Amino acid sequence: MNLSTTIPNLVGMTSPAHAATGQGPSPRSKIVALLALVGAVVYLVSPLDLIPDLIPLLCHVDDAGIMGVAIKNAKEAFWG
């Protein structure tokens, strides 16, 4: 695996492809957005967290941040 080409390709998959072209969302950006939403939901129900659930009030900050980013990406991918 050649990291010099793999990493830019992965970064390109997460950015809205239609932002520069003005053509609308690409099918690939929609798939990536759906996968991000599924991954965020799995993270939300998973017992493993970046901030442990034992810390009061802060325990939901990482969950909310990840869901917020996933929803933002889905909104951009599906509704521009």
User: Which run of H or of E encompasses 27?
Assistant: helix 27-45
With contact defined as beta carbons under 8 Å apart, do 74 and 39 qualify?
no
pTM to 2 decimals?
A: 0.62
CA distance 60 to 5: 36
Residue 40's pLDDT is: 92
Map out the domains of the chain as residue ranges.
3-79
DSSP single-letter state for residue 57: T
| CA 43 distance to own-chain centroid | 12
Percent of the residues in the chain that have a pLDDT greater than 90, as a whole number: 26
